[in-house]
Amino acid sequence: MRFTTLNEWLAWQETLHPAEIELGLERVRPVLERMGLGHPEFTMVTVGGTNGKGSSVAMLESILEAAGYRTGVYTSPHLLHYNERVRICGVEVRDSSLCEAFERVDQARHGTSLTYFEFGTLAALEIFSRSTLDIAILEVGMGGRLDAVNLLGADVALVTSIGIDHAEWLGNTREAIAREKAGIFRPGRPAVCGDLDPPATLLQYAETLGTPLYRAGRDFGYTVEGTAWSWWSVARRRTALPHPALRGGFQLQNAAAVLMVLELLEAHLPVSQNDVRHGLETVHLPGRFQVMSDGGVTRIFDVAHNPHGAQVLAETLRAHPCTGQTHAVLAMLADKDIEGVISAMRDVVDVWHVAGLNVRRGASGTYLAERLLASGVRSPVHTYADVTTAYTQAIAGAQPQDRVLAFGSFYTVAEAMKQAV
């Protein structure tokens, strides 16, 4: 074996390919074929979209597990531990399993230079192939058409939402981005779109390809009924459903699309009303409006990192007001739409604590402070070199009735969570 520990493998993978991101399947597909992973025996769902992917994957996993099915889940990125990316029946795989899978990928690549994400995707598929699964749920890393997850054709594809993100790679319009995300569609295999206003490029591609497309608001939807909600499709109605345990108004839209996916899998993976209820009530996903409170300062963690995600976060904060001030710890990658995120959040933040991200593509705290001032923010702005210092100082300066929000990137939330646990 090339390495004996997971950290050694991961550190090596980060240096294997000259670029952190390189979209395309021409390098990774031959490795997949040499590993014999091209024709899985389990059912597969691929989940793409700008926001809502992680929440949708978590709800699918929770409901299917409640129904007794053996699930495999591959997501990215992780917050605290790489093992979060690969789960079998809801349990993160062990270091040893990942190391063994990495070794098999290394042996099969025959010198091919793979990115960190491509290496991990192949390893996850290798683990799934040896795990006797009923279903695998794969989250697209970026876009869809050229993402490594798209090596395999899903039985059902889900596109959750379409917004502007990763513009450098996917395009700077919703129309261009929608076409990339529609790349996970397959001829004759159903797809679900949870976006209420999908661009014409997605609709046209589905029609040209011959993909049966089920659209939110037309083929399925939901209504809120007091403390419960109901879901409908052309063929079925589910009533008196509990709200998902994940906070945020947009989660019902995600849940509605998830139930449409499950409806399309009904013939061979049926789920009961009790399975749906239990799955929604017990679903858990760190970093999505995750709230911690011990009677003092309320701490909130949210990985929102683009304008659409920030708008949803702002709406959720308004729906759950506090009697004190909202302190925001913000750190972002420099290639994100920083001004768009600030614009969405400026009216719900009372005090800003901005920090640098000490990672590739990380923006400095000074740069974020400049963007806040240029955007017309008049709230107090404190600048720090790193998230750890910013979060510690934000907590120290907050009063018991205040709340401290960490957001802007998975990296931001991960560093802040380390101080909170």
Number of H helices, E strands in the chain: 15, 17
**Confidence tier at 250 by pLDDT (50, 70, 90):** confident
With a cut of 70, say whether residue 239 has pLDDT above it: yes
Residue range 312-316: average pLDDT? 94
Q: Are 2 and 104 in contact (CB under 8 A)?
A: no
Residue 142 has a pLDDT of: 82
Residue 1 has a pLDDT of: 65
**Confidence tier at 286 by pLDDT (50, 70, 90):** very high
Residue 225 has a pLDDT of: 87
Measured from the Cβ of residue 268, the count of other Cβ atoms closer than 10 Å reads 9
Spatial neighbors of 96 by CB under 8 A, at least 6 apart, are none
pLDDT in tens, 372-421: 999 999 999 999 999 999 999 999 999 999 999 999 999 999 999 998 76
Residue range 5-31: average pLDDT? 85
pLDDT in tens, 118-127: 999 999 999 9
Which tokens go with 227?
């403390």
pLDDT, the chain, mean: 93
Query: Rounded to an integer, what distance in angstroms lies between the CA atom of residue 359 and that of residue 333?
Result: 8
Residue range 82-107: average pLDDT? 97
Please report, for the chain, the start and end positions of each structural domain, with discontinuous segments joined by +. 6-282, 290-420
pTM (2 d.p.): 0.93
Residue 167 has a pLDDT of: 60
CATH pick for 290-420 out of 1.20.1560.10, 3.90.420.10, 3.90.190.20, 3.40.190.10: 3.90.190.20
pLDDT in tens, 100-153: 999 999 999 999 999 999 999 999 999 999 999 999 999 998 878 888 999 999
| Same topology between domain 6-282 and domain 290-420 | no
CATH code for the domain defined by 6-282 = 3.40.1190.10
User: What does the DSSP assignment read for 66-102?
Assistant: HTT--EEEE----SS-GGGGEEETTEEPPHHHHHHHH
Reported as type and span, the H/E element at residue 108 is: helix 95-109
